[in-house]
Amino acid sequence: MDAKTSPFFSLRSVTRLFIVALIALSGTAALAAPPVKIGLIHPTTGRYAEQGYHQAQGALLAIEEINAKGGILGRQVELITNNSAADPARAVRQVRRQAKKGASMIMGGATSSVAIAAGKEAARHDTIFMGTLTYANETTGTEAHRHMFRETYNGWMTAKALSKYLNREFPGKKIFYVTADYNWGHSTEAGLRAMTRTTDDRVHPRAYVPFPKPKRTAMKAALDQAAASDAEVLVIIQFAQDMATALNIATQMGLKDRMQVVVTNLTQGMAKMAGAGAMEGVIGAVPWCWQVPYEFDYPRGQQFVESYLEHYNSYPTSPAASSYSAVYQFKDAAERAKSLDTSKLITALEGHSYTELKDRQTWRKFDHQNVQSVYVVKGKDRNLVMENVHRFDYFDIILSIPGEEAVRSHKEWSASRKRANLSLALE
């Protein structure tokens, strides 16, 4: 019997063939590995559609970059998007659909009511929700839970930054508040009143504007009350198209000529909606704007701006930056955890500090609030805005405060939870 027909040779040959086949199959399996799915709940219709559009662009850019470098845990990443229309009930249904499709993380927002409702539904499916556009204190306060992480800043942080500016530049001045009548508006106004010592609403009155979808007549009526007052500062607590409407009415009424106008939460997209003329001289707060990485020399942020500009022929807004960062934070957490298991992802995120598009940021463990710097900006002269090739250079940064100074302390956060008879441990 020669070597070619010996049983030993046959067994060895079969073994080798089996090993080769296993390697080939494993390679095929790797190529055919299902994608890691990330869900985005954002408005594509209605008054907040532009903010939703920017969130999608930021997320898609991050995913393109990540896939070009091998994906997450060796798997490509796929974005699932659904239109929330800024409606909480609809957002809940869309989260349910995305969870059924196997989303490992869901993110988004536009209004805090949407983000809070979507986050609770994600928790029912044991899926992390990252709030990319939700400013109400409640999101990581009385509505906080184990599955909710807020990538952006909150109303308290906004109030802290703006109050520092107002207390310095307008000490003792009378303020009139025009406030959206829902949780974000209420919590933002309450924080700003406390920090500027304007809690007496007889001296510093307010007008509530119905939410959502306020009529122009309701906005005008609120601003008529402001005009009839002797206030020297007008604080407009409105968002997206509602803010643009309010600011344009205030400009037409001549209120900017006798009052300092403050818009609590700004984005570049909102400034574009309002127009350069209406934005001129207006004070506001932002978690980020495309000027930040150049003003403070943050190379990674500059890289993002230039890549976004190349892809979309426009500068990124803060909602775009937030969703871009959220995708990267999910990727990094998965790689630290070496898993897509939700409990392991939560553990990997809690207490983690990183530097992405600006300076150091931290996912605080006890409330899942992202602790980060806050910037106070002022609307540029209209002529300067028009000189920019993309006409998207609306802001001068006039103040920066670190996240540790802006954010609620553990003691302050705990007090709000206790008042609501809630546990101090996220569940």
pTM for this predicted structure? 0.91
Q: For 16, how many CA atoms within 13 A lie in the half-sphere containing its CB?
A: 6
* Cis previous bond, 319, omega within 30: no
> With the C-alpha atoms ordered 345, 350, 353, 355, is the resulting torsion angle positive or negative?
positive
pLDDT at 31: 53
CA dihedral 283, 288, 290, 291 (to 10 degrees): 60
Q: Strand 77-83's sheet: what is its strand order?
A: 77-83, 36-42, 103-109, 128-133, 148-150
CB of 118 within 8 A of CB of 91? yes
The helix (run of H) or strand (run of E) holding residue 389 is none
- Residues 233-243: b if buried by 16+ CB within 10 A, e if exposed: bbbbbbbbbbb
CB of 134 within 8 A of CB of 108? no
What is the rounded CA–CA span in Å between residue 69 and residue 177?
49
pLDDT at 32: 62
Residues with Cβ within 8 Å of 363's Cβ and at least 6 positions away in sequence, in order, are 149, 329, 349, 350, 351, 352, 353, 369, 370, 371
Residue type, 295: E
What is the rounded CA–CA span in Å between residue 269 and residue 60?
18
What is the rounded CA–CA span in Å between residue 116 and residue 108?
10
Q: Which residue has the tokens 């409407």?
A: 245
The Cα-based distances of 378 to 25, 89, 94, 165, 286 in angstroms read 60, 36, 37, 11, 10
pLDDT at 73: 98
CB of 169 within 8 A of CB of 218? no
DSSP code string of 219-283: HHHHHHHHHHS--SEEEEE--HHHHHHHHHHHHHTTGGGTSEEEEEE--HHHHHHH-HHHHTT-E
Q: Go through the domains of the chain in sequence order and give each one's CATH number.
A: 36-154+295-372 (3.40.50.2300), 156-291+374-406 (3.40.50.2300)
The Cα-based distances of 154 to 77, 204, 366, 388 in angstroms read 29, 23, 15, 30
What is the rounded CA–CA span in Å between residue 255 and residue 219?
14
When computed from its CA atoms, the radius of gyration of the chain, rounded to whole angstroms, is 25
What is the rounded CA–CA span in Å between residue 410 and residue 265?
24
**283-286 and 353-355 as β-strands: parallel, antiparallel, unpaired?**
unpaired
**In a structure prediction context, what are the per-residue pLDDT tens digits for the chain, which is 427 residues long?**
444 444 433 434 333 433 333 333 334 444 569 999 999 999 999 999 999 999 999 999 999 999 999 999 999 999 999 999 999 999 999 999 999 999 999 999 999 999 999 999 999 999 999 999 999 999 999 999 999 999 999 999 999 999 999 999 999 999 999 999 999 999 999 999 999 999 999 999 999 999 999 999 999 999 999 999 999 999 999 999 999 999 999 999 999 999 999 999 999 999 999 999 999 999 999 999 999 999 999 999 999 999 999 999 999 999 999 999 999 999 999 999 999 999 999 999 999 999 999 999 999 999 999 999 999 999 999 999 999 889 999 999 999 999 999 999 999 999 999 999 999 999 9
